Chain A
Amino acid sequence: MRRSLLVATAAAAVLTAGAVQADEIRIGVLYPIAGTGAVYGEPAMHGHNMAVDELNAAGGILGKKIVSFARDTKLKPAAASAAAKELITKDGVNVLVGGLSSAVGLAISEVARQEGVVYVATIPKTIKLTTEKRHDHVFRTASHTDFEGDAMGQIVAKLGLKKICDIQLDYAYGHDLAAGIEKGLKRHAPGAEKVLDLRVKLGATDYNAFISQIMGAGCDGVTSGLWGSHFVNFAQQGSPFGLFNQIKYISGGEIASHEIAGKMKGDYPDNVWSNTYELWYHHHDPSHVAFQEALAERSGTKETAMWPVLAYIGVKFIAAAAEKAGSMDADALAAALKGMSIDTPVGPRTIDPETHQADTGQFWGPMVKKEGVDYRVMDPVTFIPAVIEE
């Protein structure tokens, strides 16, 4: 008697689960939610949840409620890969979104390829994701290292720099950005010569050995992709040497974002030119004002981070593609994402049908002091579109 009751309950549970699943759209979300990476993952989740809530308030996707299944990537490819597999097999998600760090992005993409599930990469920038490692089901809404390197080449040309030292983190992103810069310099600043190549390990905290090499090399420009706390430490250690009085520091890795400038305040060095996906104080697109208001409420501050908009755009692309495809079937979704255009808070975006890469340009400019605030702001802000002119 008891056994048959158990069986019946189990069967009912399975049935209900099946019924629920058919009624909802399951999105697998992969960001570093706890630990070191949470500084990026937490704000990214704000953007993700904001997009999901907006969509659900408007009736969901294909009339079904969206449910997010978030898992921690711990900033590690192995953990991300395991999490992605679990999302697909255990949680039965229809699509994967997220990824932070190039190595993590490649790992998730590999799972998406094996399992035949669509993966929208919102943050990883290694060029390989949409070139040699591209497959039918991976799409990228982030920028990539060739766009970034090309923009840096333009800035080197604009500033008339002649001798360049390059310092990069020793992993996928740093290597690919170095290659992107090399190409950018060739295109825009053929007169500039690279005199020094430095590689620093990911997570390094002591940069003095590298700073003295840069200062000894006699370069007038430094190109770099040291992001987050790497840059904070590099700047704090370089400033007393007078490094930033001697060179122009042109950096990818979004160190112009407000989460860096707002935290470093008066310690943010001179002569830095960098990029960001978004600035809370710069309204490039009219819809950005409303986006920032909603985000400010969710983040508890009006000085919001740059990461939310990336996660937000990823979800919006998935929703638009699903509506167009009329289903969440992986192949239909992938077909719809090819050539898909949407409006975002930072302007319209289109995914290239061939490369699966969105034309995600970035804001670039010098970080300057401003009357009345204790942090640096980008001024003037220039939007460099994601176009590479050969």
Chain B
Amino acid sequence: MDSLIQFAQQDLGNPGLAALLSNPSFAFIQLMNSFSQAMNLFIIAAGLSLIFGVLRVINFAHGAFYMFGAYIVYSVAQEWTGNFWLGVAAAGLGLAVMAVVIERGLFQYIYDKEHLMQLLLTFAVVLILSDVAKIIWGTDQYSVSYPASMKGAVDLGVTFYPTYRLFLIVVGPAIAIGLWLFTERTRFGRLTRAATQDREMLSALGVNVPIIYTGVFILGSVLAGIGGGLAAPFNSPTPGMDATIIVDCFVIVIVGGLGSIWGSFIGAIIYGLVFNYGSVIVPNWQDVFPFLILLAVLLVRPWGLFGKPEGGNA
């Protein structure tokens, strides 16, 4: 091990790698950082993936939904009530309302249109929402406080780790399991799966497909809102945050396979690991990481790790 550390430090001239090898608690913290970042991204990406899986619409406005979640938490938690959890609940609720309006008012008309039309419409929504956010919240960068009970750090034996980050590590898998139970074990979930297979047949069987679509769109959007709300304490609500997150989410969803919950989960973890260890070992390549993962997966398995090849979904 010592010779390995020396090799990293001297022969490779890589102090980051040497630090990881020589300091187990540092390596451990990076692992925890990977998971907490991944879990926050997963919550948002899962919503994007869910919406695509059922509605077959790539919703570019998903990042804007995330931004609205963060802003709503700022207003409700920081400005009005002082209660962070109330803020997150309001973010979820607010996004549910927005989702109904946007799905019924706009998206329902484009399900049968070609992808370019869908792209243009969702992109138009991005532009509109970013201006609406600017009108409501201005252009300042806000700061949202951590919930009072989670300001500090927990002693994990090896090292201290921020309580709030641990909370994210727990809440991510909980949401993943919840979504899985929902799609696999509930009637509504079974209908949504059926809708992804054959919406016309489902409709012929007397199922109200539009309601399923609206429901799924609400669920996906609420995930974006809650994801944004939970990110607000460490991700300052600010104009432009929508553009950053949507790129990360697309990478995760494409790596995991569009439409797959567990795909997004694993995709997010891969993203977190590559980002956090990569930033230490090859810091100059930070910008490239997400796209390297994307490239690798697209070359080997273009439909994503957990996805199904197009046309072969029988």
Contacts and interface: CB of A to CB of B under 8 A. Distances in A.
A206 B146 CA distance: 16
A140 B311 CA distance: 60
A179 to B, nearest CB: 17
B33 A229 contact: no
B244 interface: yes
B233 A209 contact: no
Interface in A292-325: none
Contact of B26 (A36, A216, A241, A266): A216
A212 B161 CA distance: 10
Contact of B275 (A34, A198, A206, A242): A206
A34 B15 CA distance: 41
15 contacts: A35-B239, A35-B240, A201-B287, A203-B240, A205-B244, A208-B165, A209-B33, A209-B276, A209-B280, A229-B236, A233-B234, A236-B235, A236-B236, A241-B160, A263-B143
A45 to B, nearest CB: 12
Interface string A158-191: 0000000000001000000000000000000000
B280 A213 contact: yes
B293 to A, nearest CB: 15
B70 to A, nearest CB: 11
A209 B33 CA distance: 7
B74 to A, nearest CB: 10
Contact of B284 (A42, A199, A205, A259): A199
A31 to B, nearest CB: 12
Given A233-B235, A242-B153, A206 B37 contact: yes
A38 interface: yes
Contacts of A208: 33, 36-37, 165, 276
A267 B238 contact: no
A165 B156 CA distance: 26
Contacts of B37: 206, 208
Contact of B145 (A196, A198, A233, A266): A266
A197 to B, nearest CB: 9
A326 B56 CA distance: 66
Interface string A228-257: 110011001100111000000000000000
B238 A213 contact: no
A210 interface: yes
Q: 7 nearest interchain CB pairs? A: A240-B162, A36-B240, A208-B33, A232-B236, A209-B279, A229-B141, A38-B139
A267 B283 CA distance: 28
B133 to A, nearest CB: 11
Given A241-B160, A259-B140, A38 B134 contact: yes
B140 A39 contact: yes
Interface in A301-356: none
Contacts of A157: none
Given A170-B284, A236-B236, 18 more contacts: A35-B239, A36-B139, A38-B239, A39-B238, A39-B239, A203-B240, A204-B286, A205-B244, A208-B36, A209-B276, A210-B279, A213-B280, A228-B141, A233-B235, A236-B143, A240-B152, A240-B164, A267-B145
A200 interface: yes
Given A36-B238, A205-B241, A240 B151 contact: yes
Chain B, interface size: which category?
35 or more
A384 interface: no
A21 B75 CA distance: 47
A217 B15 CA distance: 10
Contacts of B142: 263
Given A233-B235, A240-B151, A212 B33 contact: yes
Contacts of B283: 198-199
A101 to B, nearest CB: 13
Interface residues of A, number: 39
A104 B143 CA distance: 27
A39 B141 contact: yes
B173 interface: no
Nearest to B36: A208
Contact of B238 (A42, A196, A229): A229
Interface in B209-253: 233-236, 238-241, 244
B127 to A, nearest CB: 10
A264 interface: yes
A113 interface: no
A369 to B, nearest CB: 15
Contacts of B138: 39
A278 B142 CA distance: 21
B94 interface: no
A194 interface: no
A233 B146 CA distance: 12
A224 B28 CA distance: 26
A203 B287 CA distance: 10
A135 interface: no
Nearest to A41: B139
A217 B22 CA distance: 12
B59 interface: no
Contacts of A266: 145
Interface string B141-181: 11111100001110000001011110000000000000000
Contacts of A228: 141
B30 interface: yes
A42 B139 contact: yes
A208 B35 CA distance: 11
| Residue of A35, A200, A204, A216 with most chain B CB atoms under a 10 A cut-off | A216
Contact of B30 (A170, A196, A212, A229): A212
B89 interface: no
A75 to B, nearest CB: 9
Nearest to B165: A240
Contacts of B235: 205, 233, 236
A213 B16 contact: yes
